[in-house]
Structures are given as C-alpha cells and as structure tokens.
Structure 1
Amino acid sequence: MALITFLVFAAIVVAVGLYKHLTSKPKIPKGLKPLPGPKGYPIIGSVPDVPEKNGFIKFAEWGKEYGPIYNCNLAGSNHVWISSDKIAKDLLAKRAAIYSARPHIPALLDDNRTSAQYLPLLSNNDGWSRQRKFANAIMREAEKANWHHYPELEAKRLLVELLDDPSQYNHHLESFIARITCRLAWGHSEPSNELKQRARELLIGVSPTGALGNKLPFLMAMPDWMSPVKAWERRRAATERRFFQMMEEQVETEIKEKRAPPSWMRMAIEGGKEQWNFQYKDEGAYCVGMHGIAGALTIAAPMQTFCLAMCYYPQYQHLVQEEIDRVCGDRMPQPSDRPNMPVLRAFIREALRWRPPVPTGIPHYLIQDDEYEGYHIPAGTTMHPLEWAISRDPELYPDPEEFNPLRWLKPEYPTYKEPLTEFPTMFTGSTQAGYGRRLCMGSQVADEDMFIGIGSLAWLFHISKEDAKRNIMMNEKASISEEELNTGLDEDSDASSEKSQEVKFDPTEVKAKKESKKEVKKDEMDPTLDYSILLIAKPLPFKFDLKVRKPERVEIVRRQFEDGMEKGLYESPKNYWGDNKGKLGWGKV
C-alpha cells in the first residue's frame, strides 16, 4: 500500500511539473529579449542547483554570472532575482502599481493574498489597504508614547536572565523581543512563549524550505488523513485563530473593568469596527496578532548577529563600549540617548547589512507583462529583491564581507552621511525596510527594540569567543567571580558617568584596535554563516563568553528588576492549551 501511494505521489509530481514546464514558457514580444539566467533542467528547472542551506549565496553567485537582474525557473515557476538597489527601486517602487502583489503560498489553508489574515503577505487589495491604514495609526500613536517604555522595562529582565543562565542566550534574546511585542499588542508580556511558537510555526508555513506543501502543493488538495502536512497546517491555523481571539477577549474584559494597559488591541477595540472598516469578526484580532508575529522573531535575529560579529570582529567592540560609558555612565541606555550614540546606531545598521535577517528579500509578484531595458518580464513572475547581494555591492560597501561599523561613521566611506546626531539610522536609505508600497510597517519599533536591546548588552557585557578554560556560556548557572567581573574592561577605557546632551566626540578619530582575524579556508564553512534555512535567517546557537564589564552595574540592574517584580511589572509566561491539547496547541517545529 505504501509503495502504491508513493508511486501515485510521484506520478502526480511528474504530471504537474510537466504541465508547468509546457505551459510556463512565456511568449516574448517582438523587439524584446528574455532575461538571462541558468538554463536548469526539464520540469524541475534549477531546483537541484540551489542548496537548501544558504541558498541566497547561490542566487547571489548567479547574479555575478548573469547580471544584476536575471530569470530562474524553479519547478515550473518563474522567478526574477534582483541584485541591484537601483533596479529594485526602478521596478518595485517606481512601478509599484503592478509590482506590489504577493505570490501565493501553497502550504497555507487560507489564501494569503486575499484572506485578510496576514498583512505582510496580502496582495494589493482592499484588505491590505484598510489594515495598512490601521497599522499606520497604531504605530504612530505608540511612537508618540515612546512605545510605552516597554523596551527599557524588558531590557532589565533580559540582562538578569543572561546573568543567571547565559547558555540560553538565544531564548533570552527572542523572549526579550516577544515580550515587548506582546505588551505592545495586548498590554501584557505573559503570552510571549505562545507568540514565539505562533511565529515559528507560521514561519515554517510560509518558507519555501519549510512546509512540504510549498514544495509539493498538490499535498494541500488531499484529505487530511492522506496528507500529514495539511493536517499540521489545519491545527496551526486553528490554534493561531483561537489564540488571537483569546487575546482580544482578554483586552475587551480589561477595558470594561477599566484596567487595560495601553496596547494596539485596545486601540482597535476602542476605535470600533466603523473607524477601521474591518470586514469580518476576527479581522482586528488578526491585524494586531500579525503585527505581533512579524516582530517576534525578525528583530531577535540582528541581536544574535551582533553577538556573532563581536566574536569574530572584536577589534570594534571597544568603540561602542566607550560611547555607552561616556553617554550613559552607570545607567542603561534610553531613547533620549539616540542623538548622542552614532556608534551604537552604526553597529545596528552594519549588523543588518552584514547578515540581513531576510537575505532572499520579501518577494513581490508581477500582475502584468512588463519591460525593463529591453528585457521582457512576464506576468506571474515572483520578484526577489535579493538582500544578500544588494547589501554586498562593492561600490557602496567596500570589502562587503567584512563587518565594519566604521563604514557608517567615517567620511571616506560611500555610506557616510551627516549629521551624526541623526545618521546612521536603521532604515533611512536601507533596503531592509522593503520597497515601494510594501515598506515595513514596524520599522520604528524594530529600531527602538534593537537600540535599547543591543545597547543594554554592550553596557553590561563584553562578548568574546568561547574560552575553553573559562566557558561561561556552557555553565548551567553562571557564577561570576570578582576577578571575572573585571576581565571585560579595557585597560585604556575612560568611562564617564557624565550625561552628555550632545555628541562631543568625533568617532572617526577613534581607530579600531588591531587584532588578527583568521581567514576561513575555501574548503571550510564560514562559521559566521551557520544559519537557519527558513525565510528569516538567524545564526544557529553558538558558544561564546559573556563577561561583566563593571560589577556595580550588576547590582544596579538586579535591584531595578527586583523593584519591578515587587510592583508586578513582570509576568511569567502562560500556558494556553494545557497538557490535553486536542486539536489545538503546539506542533512540532
């Protein structure tokens, strides 16, 4: 029986692939030419040539071979890869009317383009327009309120968790972001673990290298009992819906009892269906929930990249530490410090460039035939602004493979921009925010989270490669001695507790300390590229040392966290499904 089922599946795959192969070849209008690109194989196209891990590197290599815009057939579907910021802007921004749709994601039960459930994945339609209007309103109001100071509040918990159990740094960083996002979405941090799981499962569902339904779409047309991947998606979607409903119900109750903290859900409810023009019962719950999911894991990835960069490019770390010590002294960074901390902003911007969290870019979808510089681009093409390649343009980023925050701070670099009280910023002029009508709606909150989160890490800790003699990261519970507390301090650092109100030094005058960097042999994998395979790429867990820079700061942060605990500001994660999950609950990730 199993053999027969396998043969039927194989026959369907071949038949579908053959049909696509015979029908997907576009007719080229007279006077135009097809885009260059790899020839691939019959039926399956170039699929065998793209490795599942770090496939974005292969796409970037093809860009060097075929040019900054090229065509690639993947299992009968037409894909265009763009390695130039200029070309991406020419098409995706200047011609946004025809390039702002999203491709269909087969592994989701409800059509991502039209269901009005997943704002970042919606095509350019009425659901997208009304949810984008709502998103603009809630982001604007939350920004006016300085994001209700949720990042600063959760940064204290993050540092205490890293002190007590540094081996779980990956979990702590993701929890830091999830808790802030939960507070913004619903006013409470207790759903953070559930939000992280919702984000992980949805990420699997939408990633080309995730759910099997994206590789073999016919599986989603079969009955659940014959298609485990479809049954998995049904449970995921039902759990997601019920979670969003429960959170909306909780905020409704708190509003009635006049104890609801500020949140996006509270704004959605108090604004009412008429103001936001929501078209179905759960649309407000989904709109808020998707903003939570979008931020839960994406913002943690650059924070993990920062830790990775400090291990392999330690010569720059003292620059950000000196700036933080000078501006903040013995208090943690806060939003008002932003104009005075260009070095910290440069580290964040460089982390995003060096290891983009979405290296393949969020895809756009072309709805009608188009022409670009004599090349024909057929309707139905999935367009990829290839962030990995765009962020490695050698003319804009000399030595692009190197992590170098000075490229944003020194006038001799093409990326330098004044005034340093404003630049560099995380998204101004950055491709990371997207293109045209698909610009990221949460860029400001992401900027704030990383500024406070990474700034707090550098304020308390010195990060370095794992030391076999002193492996703090592998300790189940870190017991930090007085000697260890002082090993992270630079001998020549001149920390000042003076609260500077303006930039009083020129970071271009600070030269990076010289440290040799071992080059990776060609036959060895670059350890800084040991990344996850899903759409959002993040460094897989690695080992490194965290050394407290100043012992008195440990006491400061612990005391502030304990005060918050006494005031009830820190909630424990909540289990929403219990042990008997039934048709709802967590799936295997």
Structure 2
Amino acid sequence: MEGLTLILLYLAIPSLLFSAIRQILSWKKAGGSKARFPGPQQFPIVGRVHDLPRFSLWLKFKEWADIYGPIYYTRALNQPFIIVSDQKIAEELLVKRGHIYSGRPQIRSLIRHKEGPAYSALMDRHDIWKTQRKWAHAAVMEAYQHHFYGHVERETKRYLGLVLLDPARFLDYTREYCGRIMSRLAWDDATQGRANGDSADQTLHCMSVSGPITNTMTPLWYLPAPINPWYNFEIKREAEQRAWWLNNFRLAKHRMKNGDLPSDTWAYRYFQQLKREGNETLDQAEDQEVFASCMIGFLNLVGVVTISGPLKFFLMAMALHPEWQKKAQAEVDRVCGDRMPTIKDFADLPTVRACLKETVRWRSGVPLGVPHQAERDDEYRGVKIKKGTIILACEWALNRVPDKYPDGDNYRPERWLEPGWPTYQEPLTRYPNFREGQAMHTFGWGRRTCLGQTIVDDETFVFGAAVLWAFDLAQKVCPCTGRPVPIDSQATNSHVILEPLPYQLSIKVRSRERARHILDGYHEVMAELKV
C-alpha cells in the first residue's frame, strides 16, 4: 500500500508543480497588499494542507478560531479559505453581500456538479440553478401547506412498529424512514426509501473531505483514466444515480398518463405544469426529462441526508440525558395520552421541540457549514478577498459562541425554554422551531439557504414526539460487565452532512397498552404504504 501511494504521488508531481507555479504568480500579482486576516502560518506551496484532518475538520477550525478570532485565513495547496465563526460577520458577507459570495466551489470528486442539472445545491448561480430552485421552493411550500399530506404520520406509525418488533435495527429504520417519506412525496413509491438513503449516503461520501482522497489531494484526480480508480468510480456512480432518477421519473409519467399518479406528489405537480403550458401528451426530449428527473431526484435525495442524521443524534441525546427524556415524555403524556402525537400537537409540546432544537445545536448535522465561493474580487475590513476564495461559516464554532450559547459544549434544552437565556423566544406555542427564529444559520445563508426548513420542522417533531410517546431509550448494558456500553457522541462519518457512527441503545416499549397502540397503528398503515 505504501508503494502504491508513492507511485500515485509521483504521478501527481506535474500537477503539484503547476499548482506551485500558479501560487507563486498569485503572490507576485498580490504585490504590495499588506492587510491580511489573521490565521495559522502558511507554508510555501502546501499552505496548511498537511495538518487539516480529513475527519472532524470542524474541530480544527474551531481550535484555530479560539486562537485567531472570528474571521481568519488559511490555505490548502492553492485554495484560499476564510473561516468565520461570528454570526454578524457571516451575515455581512454571505447575506448582505450574497451577490458576491453565493458561488459553490468545485468538489473535485463530483463530475460537472457546478454546471448541473444533477445537484442544485452544489451548482453555481446560473439559469439551471435558478429554475430548479424556484420550482423546488414552490413545490415544498405547497406540500407544507398540507403538512406533507399526512405521509410523515403514516410513516411514523410504520417506523414505531418496526422498532417495536426489531429494536436492534433502529439506525437502519431511521434512515429508511426519511428515505420513504421523500420517495413518497417525489414519485409515490415509498419502497424506494432504502435505496434513496443508500444513494444519498454514497453521494455525500463522494462530496466530502473525508471521502475520496482526490477531494484533498486534487492533483490525483488528473491521473490517466486507466489508473485512476476515483474517476472511474464516480463515472459509474453518477451514471447509475441519474439512470435511477430518470427511470422513476418515466414510471411516474406513465402513471400520470394512465390517471394513476396521486396529486400529492412532486412528479404530479410537474406534469400538471407541463399540461398548463400546453403539453397535453407530456412528450419531452431526453434532455428535458433528465433536467426534470434530476430536479425532483435531488430534492428527494437531500431530504434524506439533512434529516436522518439529526434524528439519530436525537435518539442518542435522549439516551444520554434521561432527565430530559423524562421531562419530554411527561409533556407528551399530558397532551396526548394513549394516542400517538401528530403535527397538530406542535403548539402544546415545547419541551419536545426544545430537545430537538438543542440536538441540532449540540451535534450539528453540518458542522463545517456549506462552503460559499467568492464570485469576484472583493474587499472586507480593508483586506482584499480574491475571486475563488472559499468562505466557510463554521457551524460547530458558531454554535459555541459563549455570548449566545453559554455552556455550549453541553446539552441544555432549557436554553430554548427559560427566560434569561440568549436564545429564548416567546410564545412557546411557536418557538423553538426549525422554520424561523434563533439559530437558523444551521440551514445556511442568504441566497444559498436550504429550502427544507418546513419538512425538517414537521418530520423531526412528529418523529421525536412519537418515539418519546412509545419508548424508553437508554444506553445498552453490557451483559458481561453490567455497565452501560459507551456512546461516543462525536464519532461520525465526517461527511459534509453527518450521521453518527453506529451505536447501541436499549429501546423498550413504555407499556403493554402502548405496544398495542403501536401495533394497531402499524397494521392500519401497512397496506397503503406499499411495504
């Protein structure tokens, strides 16, 4: 393995030399500019690439923020970075100057993502991006007006039944739960849920620093195809994903023509739009089908990865903080009694919402933040920022600013419930939530803000309240030692959007009566969910 690594590095030397020449020329061009942001010492050619970890990179950025302040500079090879850990600075750059800082950087191991049409959140700002984003925003908001047509509650009943029958597989069921809801909304095919979750996970791997080494050692990407395993893998993966999306799209179109596609799907909404525009037959050129299938497919995919991780962290948080589990359960029991909570109980369950909100602050699903790229040269606080510079508002650091989040390393849901905490808001029938209010930076900034706040709000609430209604969660006890099996709450897959690494829980139904209600709900929805 060591010999292979050396061979690959030697093959990459021409690209490294090219990067070095570009860096030297940029230094000369910069000339007499003296003003600089603080930051760690930059070494010739490599910058700080040698000590930027591929896993848990956000911890290093937080460490440097504690040393160099709320905005600092670093570099990896010839790529400059500005790291921000102050909300006001992030708003000044990414919101007020969103016309400059709304580009997306090239993720080396994803092919053509900046051009589209496959991944709208990763595209540059051009006509394809504008069209897809406008359509997706309208589609999500229309579905939210109907609280996603009851699909969240129905899939929650299925989930509770599966966990009751086989609690050891709770992590698999959690990701599949998210995948099923999105696939039902997209194409009316919840059976695609598991494949949807796996596809999302694989895509995240390919776009993450912790994924293919070509995302950090970018010169390796330019090796000739016959000896380039990363390029060949991505060609195959992307082709399979696009074919899967296109096949689902065409199946939905066939059902639409036969009058068999439900109106509460995004595919139906798209086909209805074609008809209103005069295309009664729904016939399209292949490039138009690819455009639409990617638009719906990516909307489907991103709704899995943004929710699955927070739900898994929530289960973990409840097991690690039984005092808050008990408080939230008492609230659920008082409001709901022996029936499963639904979105209609939202206003009456602020403790549940606070536990969910605190979970996402404590263990952010996007701890690095999603990178923005400067689309042209700019100047901020007297410092020149070059076109192409990546701006990262580091969510892990933002969530630990002492003035806003006292005791930020610890799980403290009371910060959302009790007057005197900086994040407290009234009325508690409305706050906290994931649609508005404090700490919305977890969904990004300005023109690149995530469009999914509403489905995150509905899905996490119904899931969290229902799980607390149904089960007692605790750390697993080792049968040999009689001690709790440790859970490392910072052990993650280190993707751009995180899930925790597998961990064990003890999951026990709260009573025989609850078990009966869970099974009744499970059998009620099984036939219609096309299991």
Fold match (TM-score > 0.5): yes
Distance change >3 Å, CA 282–CA 275, structure 1 → 2: farther
Counterpart in the other structure of 1:558: 519
Q: Deviation digits for residues 326-371 of structure 1, max 9, x if unmatched?
A: 1111111111111111111111110110011010000000012222
Counterpart in the other structure of 2:272: 270
Counterpart in the other structure of 1:371: 379
The 8 Å contact of residues 28 and 34 in structure 1, kept in 2 or not, is answered as: no
Q: Does 1:424 align with 2:432?
A: yes
Counterpart in the other structure of 1:172: 173
From 302, 310, 330, give the equivalent of 1:322: 330
Q: Deviation digits for residues 201-232 of structure 1, max 9, x if unmatched?
A: 21122112212332233444444322111111
Q: Does 1:454 align with 2:464?
A: yes
Partner Cα distance (1:529, 1:354) in 2: 10
Distance change >3 Å, CA 412–CA 194, structure 1 → 2: same
Residue identity in the other structure for 1:107: S
Partner Cα distance (1:14, 1:26) in 2: 19
Q: TM-score, normalised by structure 2?
A: 0.92
Counterpart in the other structure of 2:40: 38
Per-residue deviation at 1:52?
Answer: 2.3
Q: Deviation digits for residues 1-44 of structure 1, max 9, x if unmatched?
A: 97995464142353244234324448558786111111133222
The farther-off stretch of 400-409 and 219-228 is: 219-228
Distance change >3 Å, CA 308–CA 141, structure 1 → 2: same
The 8 Å contact of residues 11 and 223 in structure 2, kept in 1 or not, is answered as: no
Partner Cα distance (2:6, 2:92) in 1: 51
Counterpart in the other structure of 1:117: 118
Aligned ranges for residues 258-337 of structure 1 at < 5 Å? 258-261=259-262, 262-272=264-274, 280-337=288-345
Q: TM-score, normalised by structure 1?
A: 0.83
Distance change >3 Å, CA 54–CA 280, structure 1 → 2: same
Distance change >3 Å, CA 270–CA 399, structure 1 → 2: same
* Gap regions ≥5 residues in structure 2: none
The farther-off stretch of 399-408 and 368-377 is: 368-377
Q: Deviation digits for residues 248-285 of structure 1, max 9, x if unmatched?
A: 11111111221212211111122119869997331111
Residue identity in the other structure for 1:441: L
Q: Deviation digits for residues 113-152 of structure 1, max 9, x if unmatched?
A: 2222211111111111111110122112211222011110
Q: How many percent identity over aligned positions? A: 31
Per-residue deviation at 1:294?
Answer: 0.6
Partner Cα distance (1:535, 1:8) in 2: 29
Q: Does 1:569 align with 2:528?
A: yes
Counterpart in the other structure of 2:409: 401
SS for the counterpart of 1:529 is: coil
Partner Cα distance (2:406, 2:9) in 1: 52
Task: Output the aligned Cα RMSD.
Answer: 2.5
From 62, 69, 77, give the equivalent of 1:75: 77
Per-residue deviation at 1:236?
Answer: 0.6
Q: Deviation digits for residues 493-531 of structure 1, max 9, x if unmatched?
A: xxxxxxxxxxxxxxxxxxxxxxxxxxxxxxxx9922112
Counterpart in the other structure of 2:108: 106
* Gap regions ≥5 residues in structure 1: 475-524, 573-589
Distance change >3 Å, CA 273–CA 56, structure 1 → 2: farther
Higher helix share: 2
The 8 Å contact of residues 54 and 209 in structure 2, kept in 1 or not, is answered as: no
Distance change >3 Å, CA 205–CA 23, structure 1 → 2: farther
Partner Cα distance (1:6, 1:146) in 2: 52
The 8 Å contact of residues 103 and 364 in structure 1, kept in 2 or not, is answered as: yes
Counterpart in the other structure of 1:96: 98
Partner Cα distance (2:14, 2:277) in 1: 48
Aligned ranges for residues 168-247 of structure 1 at < 5 Å? 168-247=169-248
Distance change >3 Å, CA 254–CA 26, structure 1 → 2: farther
The farther-off stretch of 255-264 and 276-285 is: 276-285
Residue identity in the other structure for 1:64: D
Counterpart in the other structure of 1:19: 21
How many pairs does the alignment contain? 518
Counterpart in the other structure of 2:474: 464
Q: Deviation digits for residues 297-336 of structure 1, max 9, x if unmatched?
A: 2201111111221232222111110111111111111111
